[in-house]
Structure 1
């Protein structure tokens, strides 16, 4: 089973980066990606979330999202595997919006799933929703 290690690095020197790559290789980590400016881009599997431009790409294709859909995706993707209730999602991303109610979150998640494809956002029956990295399964 493949495992992914995500390490957020700030102000890393070139020699420290090389040392880190050698260390990870010694633990048989198959794929090493060093992302610069990790504060503005979240990369998980084939899903890329550009926070500054508020754009989402999947397998190299731009996915058009509404502002609310983007906020929901970013919240969930920033906390993979963590379950959020509809009310928690509403309070985190839509509480100041006059166009949304917490009961409408399920409709927005449905639309988001249709745009992203299956397997990215899972329903945890009776509890809420969680983000699952593309190509993995969190049970």
Structure 2
């Protein structure tokens, strides 16, 4: 019989959920669904982008980034598997009075 795992963590404990999801994602044939990440956090295996705080953590370690580097990474993370030209990225990050 299948099991259901429910976990609730606070914003400052979000790294725990990220580590658990990395382990689950690495297991072949293991079905998992993530629906509980707040919309202000983007999570990828080994990488967590905290939009509200404007911080990036790789494997739990804070990565220092400029405002534009962070904006570029968020733009690309919001469009996985998309291909952009340098001009498109520039326009999105620097253009339009942002």
Q: TM-score, normalised by structure 2?
A: 0.63
Q: Secondary structure at the match of 1:43?
A: strand
Q: How big is the shift at 1:68? A: 0.2
Query: Counterpart in 1 of 2:51?
Result: 51
User: Which runs of no fewer than 5 residues in structure 2 stay unpaired?
Assistant: 1-28
Q: How big is the shift at 1:33? A: 4.1
Alpha-carbon distance between aligned partners in 2 of 1:35 and 1:59, rounded to the nearest angstrom: 20
Count of aligned pairs between the two proteins: 69
Q: TM-score, normalised by structure 1?
A: 0.45
Q: Secondary structure at the match of 2:62?
A: strand
Higher-RCO chain (CA-CA 8 Å, sequence separation at least 6): 1
Residue deviations 1:68-126 (CA, integer Å, cap 9, x gap): 000000000111110011000011011247xxxxxxxxxxxxxxxxxxxxxxxxxxxxx
Alpha-carbon distance between aligned partners in 2 of 1:67 and 1:88, rounded to the nearest angstrom: 18
Rg larger in 1 or in 2? 1
User: Which runs of no fewer than 5 residues in structure 1 stay unpaired?
Assistant: 1-27, 98-139
Query: Counterpart in 1 of 2:19?
Result: none
Query: Counterpart in 1 of 2:42?
Result: 42
Query: Counterpart in 2 of 1:115?
Result: none
Q: CA RMSD in A?
A: 1.8
